[in-house]
């Protein structure tokens, strides 16, 4: 009896029929996860890049303005940003004009306007951004475009919901400053 059992176990050990199916069943979940993870990582990078390009586009459009900016213009820039980013997730945008005063060695705010549930920039919270602003000559101005967007992964592969924040500054092109319509 014991000899017969040993013989069956030896034969089973040498038998390779069905091993491909077993290997397939073992490796297939890992392949599906890898494919899904690649898609999710690429989608996050794609959305981050699209948001950054949209912020640069808005900054470039505002920098070319020679007329005064008003609320309707900011609304149109917000709508343009939503169209360019092609997302249904919540989005916020803030456009500000910041000036460097070399005598006082500080940045001052000319104007700021925001859309999408974020507050406009004030002189008080401008100080928290000074390390992110560029070095500028005296009385130079930059247009600061900030965008916030939420990205949700399409599959559960280990990535969480992520906030995509952009901080883009551009110099005015055709005028020394971009003014706000009073």
CB atoms closer than 10 angstroms to residue 97 = 22
Q: How many CB atoms lie within 10 A of CB 95?
A: 27
Q: Where are the beta strands (DSSP E) in 30-159?
A: 91-101, 106-115, 141-151
pTM (two decimals):
0.81
Show the DSSP H helices in the chain as ranges.
2-14, 19-63, 71-85, 123-126
- Classify 23 as helix, strand or coil: helix
Domain boundaries, the chain: 2-170
Residue 117, C-beta contacts closer than 8 angstroms, at least 6 positions apart? 90, 92
- The DSSP bridge partners found for residue 98 are 109, 142
What's the confidence (pLDDT) of residue 51?
94
Residue 22: what pLDDT? 78
User: How confident is the prediction along the chain (182 residues), in pLDDT tens digits per residue?
Assistant: 778 878 777 776 776 666 777 788 889 999 999 999 999 999 999 999 999 999 999 999 999 999 999 999 999 999 999 999 988 888 999 999 999 998 888 999 999 999 998 999 898 888 888 899 999 999 899 999 999 999 888 888 888 899 999 999 999 998 888 889 87
């Amino acid at each position: 009896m014991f000899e017969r059992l040993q013989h069956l176990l030896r034969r089973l050990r040498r038998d390779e029929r069905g091993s491909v199916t077993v290997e397939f069943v073992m490796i297939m979940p890992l392949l599906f996860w890898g494919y899904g993870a690649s898609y999710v990582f690429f989608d996050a990078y794609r959305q981050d890049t699209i948001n950054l390009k949209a912020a640069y586009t808005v900054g470039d459009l505002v920098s070319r303005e020679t007329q005064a900016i008003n609320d309707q213009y900011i609304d149109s820039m917000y709508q343009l940003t939503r169209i360019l980013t092609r997302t249904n997730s919540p989005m916020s945008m803030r456009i500000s004009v910041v000036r460097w005063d070399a005598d006082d060695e500080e940045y001052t705010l000319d104007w700021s306007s925001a859309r999408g549930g974020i507050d406009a920039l004030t002189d008080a919270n401008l100080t928290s951004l000074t390390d992110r602003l560029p070095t500028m000559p005296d009385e130079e101005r930059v247009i600061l475009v900030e965008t916030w967007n939420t990205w949700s992964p399409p599959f559960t592969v280990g990535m969480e919901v992520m906030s995509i924040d952009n901080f883009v500054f551009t110099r005015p092109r055709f005028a020394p400053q971009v003014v706000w319509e009073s």
